[in-house]
Amino acid sequence: MGITMIVTPDDLLVERSKSIDEYIEKVRPIVEKVREGGDEALIELTKQFDGVELQYIRVPSEEIDAAYEEVDDEIIDALEVAKQNIERFHSITCVERDMFIDFGDVVLGKRYVPLDSAGIYVPGGRASYPSTALMAGIPASIAGVERIAACTPPDERGKVKPLTLVACDIAGINEIYAVGGAQAIAALAYGTESVKPVDKIVGPGNIYVTAAKILVSKDVPIDMPAGPSEVLIIADETANARFVALDALAQLEHDPMAIAVVLTTSEKLAKEVQSLAEELGKGLNLENLRIAVVDSIDEAIEISNKFAPEHLEMMFEGAENCMDRIKHAGSVFVGEYSPVAAGDYASGTNHILPTAGYGRRYSGLSVETFLKHITFQKLSKDGLKRIGQAIITLANKEGLPFHAKSVEERLKE
């Protein structure tokens, strides 16, 4: 089995409609076991799914300090570069939001306040993803979240990889737990003896982690469903076939369920990308690479908006002039020198993005993810008098006489 050359581009949408319900049912007993069994359940499930004996649930602070000695200075420097760019972008986009509007006799406003706590899932099963710690921890810190907890799968020793520990520390994460999978999401949502529950759960993961997030979201809000990664690349005959192929393969190396789609107006480019992917992508699941020749860039954009990809790459002439036509995508990469890898690591935007079509309804993670707003009002007597009769009339109509009386009493001469 190899790369699928799509006959009908709309086939993508059919494939995408597979339900996550079966995975939700698979993780339901795991979540319930953690709710009932606490730490003991976390230890048992980690041994069952990860095949390791946990050395601890919460990582001791001295192990975090010691991790810096095990990570090369070059890697730490790279994390710091990424941190600076992520902080810069998220700080600038987090402009002053509080509002104070004075209408004279009525003052209205809105205040934004951070959540008290947030839980971050940092993937680590197939590989170590320290970048995710930065992508979630830094916006949470900028928002002012006081308690930031991270869960990440343990390594074969039953511990957290030093690189992940360093990244979490650099990102300002207060608590780190050596727990992964659906059981980690359950622990963050409902708590155990070692893990205090959080106010919101964020971060990407495999299909089981995503299913668990959706399951617990009835009790604890989540950022978005962010499961197996995906990219959709729109390219014309001017695109570099090698760049296109490498970007597609880069997406497939995330996860066996990751998806890469190439829509191109050039049959020549399609064949070149297919050939290069088969040559370079040995060991990857090339069945999840879809290539289609479309009649026009307009058609490709229409398909992309229906598909709502996590990552959208636009490598065609005049791409920078088409941004206002993109309605549904997690993040957009314009031009041949804007690979998804830039956003994944160090350009400054966020790589925690909605997948599986959820980009039609969700945005990527940002500082706003960790904020909520409170409205306020201050009325003078004249202000209440101006709108008082409307309040009284509506309250009486709704059968709430004390609502009406609370205004009438204030407006007595």
Q: Give tens-digit pLDDT for 100-111.
A: 999 999 999 999
Give the residue-averaged pLDDT of 334-355.
96
- Closest C-alpha among 351, 354, 330 to residue 135: 351
* Domain 21-216 shares a fold with domain 227-335: yes
Whole-number pLDDT of residue 12: 66
Q: Does the structure show a pLDDT above 70 at 162?
A: yes
pLDDT category at 255 given cuts 50, 70, 90 is confident
Torsion of CA 165, 171, 175, 176, to 10 degrees: -30
- Residue 292 pLDDT: 92
- Which amino acid, residue 230? E
CA pair distance 255, 126, nearest whole angstrom: 8
CB-based contacts of 302, cutoff 8 Å, min separation 6: none
Ligand-binding annotation for 251, yes or no, is yes
| Contacts of range 276-283, beta carbons closer than 8 Å, 24 or more positions apart | 276/241, 276/242, 276/245, 276/246, 277/3, 277/245, 277/248, 277/249, 278/2, 278/3, 280/245, 280/246, 280/249, 281/245, 281/249, 281/252
Q: Say whether 206 counts as a known binding-site residue.
A: yes
Segments making up each domain of the chain, as ranges: 21-216, 227-335, 380-413
Query: What is the pLDDT confidence band of residue 129, given thresholds at 50, 70 and 90?
Result: confident
The answer on pLDDT for 5 being more than 70 is no
- Annotated ligand binding at 328? The verdict is no
* Protein fold of 227-335: Rossmann fold (3.40.50)
pLDDT for 83 beyond 90: yes
20 pLDDT band, cuts 50/70/90, is confident
Was 112 annotated as part of a binding site?
A: no
**Rounded percentage of the chain residues whose pLDDT exceeds 70:** 94
Q: Give the C-alpha separation, 6 to 140, whole Å.
A: 41
- Residue 279 annotated as binding site: no
**Confidence check: pLDDT of 2 > 70:** no
Active site residues: 310-311
Q: What is the mean pLDDT of residues 185-197?
A: 98
Average pLDDT of the segment spanning 246-251: 97
pLDDT surpassing 70 at residue 210: yes
Q: Per-residue pLDDT for 402 more than 70?
A: yes
Average pLDDT, the chain: 93
Nearest to 212 by CA among 179, 183, 191, 178: 183
Q: Is 237 annotated as a binding residue?
A: no
Q: List 233's β-bridge partners, or say none.
A: 262, 313
Q: How confident is the model at residue 21 (pLDDT cuts 50, 70, 90)?
A: confident
Q: What is the pLDDT of residues 301-325, one digit of tens each?
A: 999 999 999 999 999 999 999 999 9
Q: How far is CA 18 from CA 13, 15, 22, in A?
A: 9, 6, 10
Length of the chain: 413
> Whole-structure pTM over 0.85, yes or no?
yes
For residue 211, which of 250, 175, 179, 184 has the smallest C-alpha distance?
184
- Residue 11 has a pLDDT of 64
The residue that leads in pLDDT, 39 or 128, is 39
Q: Is 73 annotated as contributing to ligand binding?
A: no
Average pLDDT over residues 164-177: 97
Residue 128 reports pLDDT greater than 90: no
CATH topology assigned to domain 21-216 = Rossmann fold (3.40.50)
